[in-house]
Amino acid sequence: MSNPSRHPYNDVVITTPVTVPYRRYSSESTIWWIGRALAALANGAGLGHRDIDGLSVGSFSTAPDSVIGLTQHFGVSPRFIDFLPFGGVAAIVALRRAARAVQMGDADIVACIGADTNAVDSFEESLKSFSRFSQDGVFPYGAGGPNTSFALIASNYMRKYGARREDFGKIAVAQRANALKNQNALFKTPLDLDTYMNARAISAPIHLFDCVMPCAGAEGFLVMREAAARAQGLPFARISATIERHNAFSEDAVQERGGWAADIGELYTMSGLEPAQIDVLETYDDYPFISMMQFEDLGFCKKGEGSDFVQQHDLTIEGSFPHNTSGGQLSAGQAGVAGGFLGLVEAVRQVTDQAGGTQVAKAQHAMAAGFGMINYDRGLASAAVILSGGA
């Protein structure tokens, strides 16, 4: 149910979106990637790194270092600190917590960073310790990775709502077209629907181009008061509304909706906007069908109408419904928890007119959504944010 007592994020803004360019594999540690992002944030804002008094890090691979330990590595002395190994929702959770910390005076400038490295064996090693479920119920049986779990969810979704692989393919093809305009995207060749449809099965109905490519990289942004952003001459976005929900709709035998559906009315009420006023949508796209689920649960169409919605819209940068304008994880790459930051960072760029080749004309309001922390039959975490361009 909605919460009428939610307080707005008055005078708190998000600024300085940064990407440390991705690599398929990296011999550098995750700490190196976090450090590069922190340096880019300080340089981009015209600050010394010691001016940053809040540090929020999302990662799966900082061990054995803690985020507190990183403060010594980086020479910072924050009075607000946060660690968020929360996958696809980490960026929005980081933003929510950092914004309230700044609003309450617990920090002045918070650096929010998502980063993970990717050595040749990183993905396998992460599966061994991702969750008790992955340790006991997946990895020992040779079903490495989330593909089999998402195949179960996708099969149920397709059977119940009539979604087709052709619909998922249209999402993937559009994102690849967008990625070709993003200099940081790892995929540099076009993708057509025939290639998508004829790709080898991974775990039916999941096929090759339904899957993200693990890589190394980092994303980040700063949270501060509007007055501080103006003093530094920084373009900024206002935080119009946010929601966060975990383990929603546990009564569903297999996941067919995310936690967004529980709170979407609150998101629009808090922002004062309607779905038709959103100029850009950045979904968490670990698989195309999860993006389609978000089209429904975020209010752009009704449940079960995702297929028609996809077929009725052009999802490219210049299209009628610009979606995952960076190319998303499907075409830019998934750098661990940085994948959960990718859409939010792109949303900041869009509403501050800093997106370069992926810029949507006259984008004023952008929505970014997060999803993840997969168990066998569902992703447990959901979040969303609406950003609006600053003056």
7, pLDDT greater than 90: yes
Query: Residue 287 in contact with residue 163, Cβ under 8 Å?
Result: no
Quick one: residue 20, left, alpha or beta (phi over 0 = left, psi -120 to 50 = alpha)? beta
62, pLDDT greater than 90: yes
Q: Comparing 68-82, 153-167, 285-299, 364-378, which segment has the lowest mean pLDDT?
A: 364-378
Is residue 126 very low, low, confident or very high in pLDDT (cuts 50, 70, 90)? low
Q: How many whole angstroms separate alpha carbon 137 and alpha carbon 376?
A: 8
Tokens coding 222 = 């700063």
Q: How many whole angstroms separate alpha carbon 302 and alpha carbon 305?
A: 5
2, pLDDT greater than 60: no
The pLDDT value recorded for residue 344 is 98
Q: How many whole angstroms separate alpha carbon 233 and alpha carbon 388?
A: 18
Instruction: For 329-359, write each residue's pLDDT tens digit.
Output: 999 999 999 999 999 999 999 999 999 999 9
Q: Is 100 exposed, middle or buried (0-12, 13-18, 19+ CB in 10 A)?
A: middle
DSSP 204: T
**pTM as predicted:** 0.95
Instruction: For 134-157, write each residue's pLDDT tens digit.
Output: 667 666 666 667 888 899 999 999
The pLDDT value recorded for residue 188 is 95
Please state the rounded mean pLDDT for residues 98-103.
98
Q: How many whole angstroms separate alpha carbon 34 and alpha carbon 302?
A: 40
What is the pLDDT of the chain when averaged over all its residues?
A: 94
The pLDDT value recorded for residue 127 is 63
Structural domains of the chain ordered from first start = 12-121+216-231 (3.40.47.10), 133-212+237-389 (3.40.47.10)
Secondary structure element (H or E) that encloses residue 346, with its range:
helix 338-351
254, pLDDT greater than 90: yes
Q: How many whole angstroms separate alpha carbon 226 and alpha carbon 364?
A: 17
Report the SS3 class of residue 207.
Answer: strand
The pLDDT value recorded for residue 391 is 62
- Side-by-side strand order, sheet with 216-225: 80-83, 54-58, 109-116, 216-225, 12-23, 236-246, 379-389, 365-374, 280-282
Nearest alpha-carbon partner for 83 in 75, 71, 74, 72: 71
Question: Over the Cα atoms of the chain, what is R_g?
Answer: 19
The pLDDT value recorded for residue 374 is 87
Please state the rounded mean pLDDT for residues 195-203.
97
Residue-wise burial string across 203-236, b where 16 or more C-beta atoms lie within 10 A, e elsewhere: bebbbebbbbbbbbbbbbbbbbbbebbeebebbb
